[in-house]
Amino acid sequence: MGLERRGIGDRSAWDVIRGRQPWGALALVMLTGLAMMRNGVDASSGPPQPAAAATSGARQVVAAPTPSAGLRPLAYAPASRVRIEALKVDAPVIDVGLDQEGWISAPPPQDPNLAGWYQNGISPGQRGTAVVVGHVDNESGPAVFYRLGALRPGQRVEVTRYDGRVAVFQVYGVEVFSKDDFPGVRVYGDTGHPELRVITCGGGYSRAGGYDGNVVVFARMVATR
């Protein structure tokens, strides 16, 4: 599924990725890059899904947290590590960009405990929406975000940056979206606050098509240290 095959309104995705609406284009390439991974483990149970559902629009959403009065966005700095205490995730983060086909690159699947930060977007802690991705599994078994769909609103994700600062995000939504109906503007849009999206594959799985959706965690920065 190349960029030239998917349009946004009256314009091609390639036009959009060149700067007219970059988050709209990223929605397409992110969706394609993650949803088309075909290295999932064909297990009867599979990874947990939000509300124990697949791609039917299941959601666990509450009001986004209100940051404290003195909390200010951080300056730019690349991400170096992601921690999700509720899931026992503690993983290094590497920079990822777009591959030769225009898809967002995922971390190498051989390392199950590795996440990727989309380096051409927002830095975690800056105003805007930063994006962290990772595999749900690989050929050997569960990977870094295998249990991502089990997160609940109110739980926290911490991202350590290369400047030594830590951006602390509070989860306010966990949803699974079909790869054929991915709401890019809603997922990647600027809310006016420092936000984070953590994304992995999800929904149903088949050997022929891989996972048919994406689990997306919505979180807003509530603290720094």
User: CA triplet 50, 205, 83: central angle to 5 degrees?
Assistant: 45
Distances (CA, A) of 55 to 20, 75, 184, 190, 201: 30, 36, 16, 25, 11
What does the pLDDT read at residue 170? Answer: 97
Based on its alpha-carbon atoms, the radius of gyration of the chain, rounded to whole angstroms, reads 16
User: Which residue has tokens 């299941």?
Assistant: 58
Distances (CA, A) of 44 to 20, 54, 149: 43, 14, 16
DSSP string, 89-143: EEEEEEEE-B-TTSPBPPPPTT-SS-EEEETTSPPBTBSEEEEEEE-SEETTEE-
What does the pLDDT read at residue 22? Answer: 45
Q: What is the Cα–Cα distance from 37 to 31, expressed in whole angstroms?
A: 10
Q: Which two tokens stand for residue 123?
A: 């830095």
CATH number at residue 63: 2.40.260.10
Q: What is the total count of domains within the chain?
A: 1
Per-residue pLDDT of the chain (225 residues; tens, 9 = 90+): 222 222 222 222 222 223 334 444 454 444 444 444 434 444 446 787 776 444 445 566 778 888 878 899 999 999 999 999 999 999 999 999 877 765 667 899 899 999 999 999 999 999 999 999 999 998 889 999 999 999 999 999 999 999 999 999 999 999 999 888 888 889 999 999 999 999 999 888 888 888 888 899 999 999 999
129: domain range? 3-224
3-state secondary structure at position 149: helix
User: Which residue has tokens 């690349």?
Assistant: 78
